[in-house]
């Protein structure tokens, strides 16, 4: 604010007039109003004064001894395009106004009334102030845009654009010097759980803490960048050796693993790190290849159990290519019919009758023969295909079950069991999807059973709701492979399941001489299941001795190669009419016998 109290009026005014009395009177008017003013009598003096004092407003007389006021205005504007230039003239002609266009901000007719002159100057100063403020704002905005173009707004770390630049520079330096460049791809393990349970605002605060730790733990020559989501990249010039890169990775894992407090809650995160190093001279590598290789190694670290690091090698690339091809062919398989369902009977041990079947996937992959689920389901889970494949299996199974029922093949109390992935069970609308499929194919709910594994029960609260809705429909639910994982006995009491399947590893001990622990475990599980009102099934039954042992223990059902290998619907219904024998009296051999060392379904 100036001396006269008018806001926005500040800066020096330069008055250029060769008439000393006129020039001095205008300077006096301005000074009396608290506006700092300077005088000049010629073009040379005016331009020198502009260079020294950078006036905010320039007032020029139309006629000067060494040039016209308009010519001087042009030169003043060349030095400072933003400075307002006012013309004083005794000629109020149209020619003067036209000549002034583009060079002048205003012109005043002599003689000039002091108040009119002051007001014009104040307006010019105010405009100059706004122009200056706008310029400052524009510059700030430009700096902000430049920053945001190169840095992540959440963590303040370099973003992918700046990472690409830094990595390219580091790679060029490695080529020049022959040094080894290391790239570490860092991924926070199971970070999605934090966002799901505590909200993204907590997740964002944790990401900032993790970013700060990475930045603090890096070497001075390293670049830490946020790649996206919960992924970071560390560029390590002149890393020396794989051992040095491994030590850096272990340091980072240790720093990220320290407890982090957000909103009074302690969080303990782990990280998986993939490492790749440039070869001699780094001539055949580029930034994209290095990032891809480090990413590949990071996923290998996750597969190995998380909270660790892996060093990239060419074998990893081959596995990635193979996994990509499997994923691609699986997608096609659901469309072309290469993915099929086969059925393995479930037998009542007290009568020997087929009372159900389990639907199992088989993949007739072109050029590879028949592929079992153990070989392709892990890829389906990693790629997100497990959801579509699970929906496909349910739709296919219920469609065929509906056709069997219409053909009069389904005996009373028969139930077809379909495996359900944790991904499907985590969907709160899953029970509604099952209800819609049952209605579409006109299948009674009691004819469908779903098999779930223990991994699907980590979020017991959400699972209980979905399972409760399924039981309300009348759909059966079995806990598969019971005893094979981290079995929680409270689940048997809390969750609305109808049965449990004893894992084949325990069943295989029933005919082993001197093996008493396995037998005791199976007997205990049968008794426990019955005490809870559950149907108990022994899976992986392969010998008559195992059948006899299960019968003596009171186990309800059996399933395994002793009864039949998984096969087609025709073989299934042939077996229901006469166990193990088709309608024409020929023995039913379903799939070819194979080693049973390891799960085959």
Domain-wise residue ranges, the chain: 13-146, 160-312, 322-577
**Which helix or strand (DSSP H or E) is residue 282 part of?**
none
Phi, psi of 359 (to 5 degrees): -85, 125
Phi, psi of 84 (to 5 degrees): -70, 135
3-class state of residue 515 by DSSP: coil
**Positive or negative: CA dihedral 498, 428, 451, 422:** negative
What global pTM score does this model have?
Answer: 0.55
pLDDT at 343: 94
Residue 3, CA atoms < 13 Å, CB-side half-sphere: 8
Q: Hey, which CATH number is domain 322-577, 2.40.30.130, 3.20.20.450, 1.10.10.350, 3.50.50.60?
A: 3.20.20.450
pLDDT at 382: 73
- Nearest by Cα to 211 from 180, 252, 179: 252
Q: Hey, which CATH number is domain 160-312, 3.90.1150.10, 3.30.70.270, 3.40.50.450, 3.40.50.720?
A: 3.30.70.270
- Nearest by Cα to 288 from 168, 149, 162: 168
DSSP H helices in 283-355: 287-303, 314-336
pLDDT at 349: 94
**Positive or negative: CA dihedral 537, 542, 545, 548:** positive
Q: List average pLDDT for each run of 10 residues in the chain, which is 601 residues long.
A: 44 90 89 90 91 91 87 89 85 52 67 85 83 75 74 91 92 89 94 86 94 94 93 94 92 94 90 90 77 91 88 79 79 82 94 92 84 78 81 93 90 92 85 95 95 69 81 92 66 81 92 86 93 93 94 95 90 70 36 36 52
Homologous superfamily (CATH) for 13-146: Response regulator (3.40.50.2300)
pLDDT at 457: 63
Interatomic CA distance for residues 415 and 541, integer angstroms: 19
Angstrom CA distances, 211 to 165, 186, 251, 255, 270, stand at 20, 11, 14, 11, 14
**Token pair belonging to 16:** 């250029």
Interatomic CA distance for residues 290 and 223, integer angstroms: 15
**Token pair belonging to 122:** 């104040």
* Paired sense of beta strands 231-236 and 182-188, if any: antiparallel
Cβ atoms of 373 and 421 closer than 8 Å: no
Phi, psi of 396 (to 5 degrees): -65, -45
Phi, psi of 142 (to 5 degrees): -65, -40
**Token pair belonging to 490:** 């409270």
pLDDT at 277: 92
Interatomic CA distance for residues 598 and 583, integer angstroms: 33
Tally of residues, the chain: 601
- Nearest by Cα to 545 from 565, 521, 562: 562
CA 550 to chain centre: 48
CA 436 to chain centre: 31
């Amino acid at each position: 604010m100036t001396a006269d109290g008018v806001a926005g009026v500040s800066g020096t005014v330069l008055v250029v007039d060769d008439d000393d009395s006129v020039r001095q009177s205008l300077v006096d008017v301005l000074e009396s109003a608290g506006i700092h003013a300077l005088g000049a009598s010629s073009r040379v003096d005016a331009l020198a004064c502009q260079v020294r004092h950078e006036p905010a407003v320039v007032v020029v007389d139309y006629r000067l001894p060494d040039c016209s006021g308009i010519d001087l205005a042009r030169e003043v504007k060349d030095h400072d395009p933003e400075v307002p230039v006012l013309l004083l003239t005794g000629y109020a002609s149209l020619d003067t106004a036209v000549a002034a266009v583009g060079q002048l901000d205003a012109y005043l007719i002599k003689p000039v009334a002091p108040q009119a002159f002051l007001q014009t100057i104040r307006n010019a100063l105010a405009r100059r102030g706004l122009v200056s403020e706008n310029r400052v704002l524009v510059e700030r905005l430009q700096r902000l845009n430049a920053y945001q173009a190169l840095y992540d707004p959440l963590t303040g770390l370099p973003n992918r654009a700046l990472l690409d630049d830094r990595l390219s520079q580091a790679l060029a330096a490695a080529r020049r010097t022959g040094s080894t460049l290391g790239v570490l791809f860092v991924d926070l393990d199971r970070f999605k759980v934090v966002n799901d349970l505590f909200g993204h605002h907590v997740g964002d605060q944790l990401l900032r803490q993790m970013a700060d730790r990475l930045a603090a733990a890096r070497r001075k020559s390293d670049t830490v960048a946020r790649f996206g989501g919960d992924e970071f990249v560390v560029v390590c010039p002149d890393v020396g050796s794989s051992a040095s890169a491994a030590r850096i990775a272990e340091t980072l894992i240790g720093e990220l693993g320290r407890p982090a407090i957000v909103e009074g809650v302690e969080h303990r995160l782990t990280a998986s790190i993939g490492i790749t190093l440039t070869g001699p001279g780094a001539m055949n590598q580029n930034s994209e290849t290095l990032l891809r290789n480090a990413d590949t190694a990071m996923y290998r670290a996750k597969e190995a159990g998380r909270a660790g690091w892996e060093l990239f090698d060419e074998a990893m690339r081959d596995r990635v290519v193979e996994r990509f091809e499997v994923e691609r062919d699986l997608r096609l398989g659901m469309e072309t019919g290469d993915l099929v369902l086969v059925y393995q009977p479930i037998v009542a041990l007290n009568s020997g009758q087929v009372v159900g079947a389990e639907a199992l996937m088989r993949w007739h992959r072109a050029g590879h023969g028949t592929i079992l689920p153990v070989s392709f389901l892990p890829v389906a889970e990693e790629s997100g295909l497990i959801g579509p494949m699970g929906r496909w299996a349910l739709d296919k199974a219920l469609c065929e079950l509906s056709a069997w029922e219409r053909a009069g093949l389904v005996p009373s109390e028969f139930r077809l069991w379909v495996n359900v992935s944790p991904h499907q069970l985590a969907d709160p609308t899953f029970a509604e999807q099952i209800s819609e499929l049952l209605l579409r194919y006109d299948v009674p709910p009691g004819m469908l059973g779903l098999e779930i594994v223990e991994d699907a029960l980590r979020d017991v609260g959400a699972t209980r709701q979905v399972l409760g809705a399924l039981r309300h429909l009348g759909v059966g639910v079995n806990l598969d492979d019971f005893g094979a994982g981290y079995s929680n006995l409270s689940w048997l009491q809390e969750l609305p399941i109808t049965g449990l399947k004893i894992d084949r590893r325990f069943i295989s001990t029933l005919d082993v001489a001197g093996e008493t622990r396995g037998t005791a475990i199976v007997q205990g599980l049968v008794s426990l299941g019955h005490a809870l009102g559950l149907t108990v099934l022994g899976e992986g039954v392969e010998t008559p001795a195992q059948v006899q042992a299960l019968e003596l223990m009171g186990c309800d059902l059996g399933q395994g190669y002793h009864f039949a290998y998984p096969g087609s619907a025709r073989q299934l219904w042939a077996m229901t009419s006469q166990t193990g024998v088709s309608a024409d009296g020929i023995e039913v051999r379903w799939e070819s016998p194979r080693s049973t060392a390891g799960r085959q379904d």
